[in-house]
Structure formats: C-alpha cells, structure tokens
C-alpha cells in the first residue's frame, strides 16, 4: 500500500502520518517502521530502502518525509514504485515549502502513483473562519469538551492571523481539555493568548475608537508578556495598512472577525472620520519606525503608547 500526502498544511499531514503509524504499529510492530528524511537521502539509497525485504518481519512501514525536496528522488520513484514489495506500506509526504518539483500533479511520478492505485490525500490550509468552523466543532467533540455558546467564535478570534491556525487551535484544545468541566468564553480568554496579529488589531481598533483605557490595558498586557517592540510595530503597521485597504475596497488579508469589527467601527465613526484617523496612525507609525529601532525597550513602548493614545 502506498500513501502520498501533500499540500500546504504540514500540521494535518503530520497528524495523518501519526494515525497511519499508530495503526501499523498496533497490527504489526513499531520496530518494523523506517523513517527517511527526503531532504538528505540520495535517490539510490531511497530506492534500496523502499524495495528491501526484511529478514525479521515480512511487513514493513517506510515513511519518507519531504519526498519532493530533491527532484531526483521524485523522478526516481516513477520507475521504482512498482517494485515495492507487496508487504511494504509506504507513506510519502510532500512539504510544499521545501518542494523542488514543479507542477506536481501532472508529473510522471504522480501518474504512476495513480496507476498503481496509491491513496493520494491533499491537505490545504484553511483560508477563513468559515472553513475552520466545522473542523473546530468536530475537534471540540473529539476532545469531549462541553462548551457554552460563543466558545468556537472566541477561539477563532484569538487565533486569527496565525500562519497555521489549525495547528494553533489544536494546541490550545489539548491545553483546555485538561481543565475539566464546561469550557466557557471566560476560560478561553483566560488561558488562550491572542495571536500577535489579533493583539495588534485589537490595539489599533481601540486607538481608532479613542478608547485610551483599552489601549493602555492591552499594551500593558503585551509588555508584561515580553513582546518585542520592533516586532509589534511591524505588525501594527501591517494591520493599519490592511485596514486602509478595506476602506478603499482593496483585497486584503483580514479574518472575518477583523472585517466585521472594521465595519462596526466604520458605522460608529463614519468612513470619513475613520479614514482620517487611520491616516494619522499610519503617518505616526512611519515616523516611529526609526525611533523605536534605536531606542531601549521601555522608551520604545512609550513612543508606541503615545502614538496610539493621541489620535484626534
């Protein structure tokens, strides 16, 4: 049996590999599992590992990670997949960030995988909360968590902006499942640290709304958590520019939660006032960039606090 797991969601690929490894170990033996790093193995060595017969156990599982990281390995598979012993199960994984193979789905090796009846599974990153919600609700049930209304929304809100939000959510669910009892929105807020992007947007939103107390509270929390002032300034600037894009009708990368908050803010302040305040923030942040880089952390945070607390 051959599995080919590919896509840009490394977390889900890793989880699927883990499931297959555990199933094989239960039926046969964990000692019959071989793991190969596709970034390091040479084509000839990979061939011998895939086609070898074991003297100790007729059944083997060979897991090859990042099989497309070297184009030579991928090309070699075309002529060798058919020679893999029937008792050997092979899991091939593609890590998109490391791949050296172009037009993967139309390569000869992919055609050979299909001809041999391999199980080909694609795992993509969820691009929005709408795609994530069904998965998150299923994971809450899998963790046997009893939740009050609004918990899923809060989890999606706090983890918005993460490069792989599913991986972050799974990490948080593992942690929250240890608490016991019903999972409430208050507990989620207490134990789940907002993503850096979520923090930056919340502070920007409070500054634009003129809520100086909220700005101070959120900045204090960031400083206590040891956030780097330069990194935060970069996030703040990117969120401000994305927000400006929303107001001009451009396509920008904001979560549905952030887009909704932007619309509410625009309704409250009016598009004209929001645009003017946002322009003021962008100008101040541009002026701050050099100062923050040359300042000690305490002084840098004072500059940022001043810029966000004095929006007319």
In this predicted structure, the answer to whether residue 40 has a pLDDT above a threshold of 90 is yes
The predicted pLDDT at position 74 comes to: 94
Q: What is the DSSP string of 177-230?
A: TTT-S-B-HHHHHHH-PPPHHHHHHHHHHHHHTT-HHHHHHHHHHHHHTT--HH
The predicted pLDDT at position 253 comes to: 66
CA dist 285 and 307 (Å) reads 7
Domain boundaries, the chain: 2-122, 129-191, 196-309
Q: Which residue has the tokens 């789940």?
A: 192
The predicted pLDDT at position 288 comes to: 81
- Domain over 2-122 is classified CATH 3.40.50.300: yes
In this predicted structure, the answer to whether residue 20 has a pLDDT above a threshold of 90 is yes
The predicted pLDDT at position 4 comes to: 96
Residues 252-264 pLDDT 10s? 666 666 676 677 7
Mean pLDDT of the chain: 86
- Domain over 129-191 is classified CATH 3.40.50.2300: no
Burial of 51 (0-12, 13-18, 19+ CB in 10 A): middle
In this predicted structure, the answer to whether residue 36 has a pLDDT above a threshold of 70 is yes
CA dist 41 and 210 (Å) reads 58
List the alpha helices (DSSP H) in 52-195: 71-80, 108-115, 129-142, 151-158, 165-176, 185-191
State the CB neighbour count (10 A cutoff) for residue 60. 23
* Interacting residues of 99 by C-beta distance below 8 A, sequence separation 6+: 66, 68, 69
Residues 129-151 pLDDT 10s? 777 888 899 889 988 888 888 89
Q: What would the mean pLDDT of 90-105 be, rounded to a whole number?
A: 87
Least confident stretch, 24-28, 215-219, 262-266: 262-266
Question: 196-309 has which fold?
Answer: Zinc Finger, Delta Prime; domain 3 (1.20.272)
In this predicted structure, the answer to whether residue 267 has a pLDDT above a threshold of 90 is no
């Amino acid at each position: 049996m051959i599995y080919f797991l590919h896509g840009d969601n490394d977390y889900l690929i890793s989880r699927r590999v883990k499931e297959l490894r555990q199933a094989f170990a239960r039926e046969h033996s964990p000692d019959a599992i071989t793991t190969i790093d596709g970034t390091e193995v040479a084509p000839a060595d990979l061939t011998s590992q895939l086609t070898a017969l074991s003297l100790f156990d007729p059944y083997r599982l060979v897991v090859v990670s990042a099989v497309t990281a070297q184009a030579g390995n991928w090309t070699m598979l075309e002529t060798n997949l058919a020679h893999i012993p029937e008792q050997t199960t092979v899991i091939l994984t593609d890590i998109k960030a490391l791949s050296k193979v172009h037009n993967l789905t139309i390569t000869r090796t992919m055609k050979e995988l299909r001809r041999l009846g391999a199980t080909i599974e694609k795992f993509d990153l969820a691009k929005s909360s709408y795609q994530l919600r069904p998965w998150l609700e299923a994971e809450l049930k899998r963790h046997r968590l009893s939740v009050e209304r609004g918990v899923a929304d809060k989890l999606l809100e706090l983890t918005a902006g993460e490069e792989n939000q599913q991986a972050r959510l799974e990490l948080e669910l593992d942690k929250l499942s240890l608490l016991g009892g019903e999972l409430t929105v208050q507990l989620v807020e207490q134990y789940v640290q907002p993503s850096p992007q979520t923090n930056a947007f919340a502070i920007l939103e409070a500054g634009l709304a003129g809520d100086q107390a909220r700005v101070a509270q959120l900045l204090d929390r960031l400083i206590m958590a040891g956030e780097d002032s330069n990194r935060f300034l970069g996030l703040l600037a990117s969120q401000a520019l994305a927000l400006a894009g929303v107001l001009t009708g451009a396509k920008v990368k904001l979560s549905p939660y952030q887009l909704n908050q932007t619309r509410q803010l625009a309704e409250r302040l009016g598009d004209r006032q929001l645009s003017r305040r946002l322009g003021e923030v962008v100008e101040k942040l541009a002026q701050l960039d050099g100062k923050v880089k040359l300042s000690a952390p305490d002084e840098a945070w004072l500059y940022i606090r001043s810029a966000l607390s004095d929006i007319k």
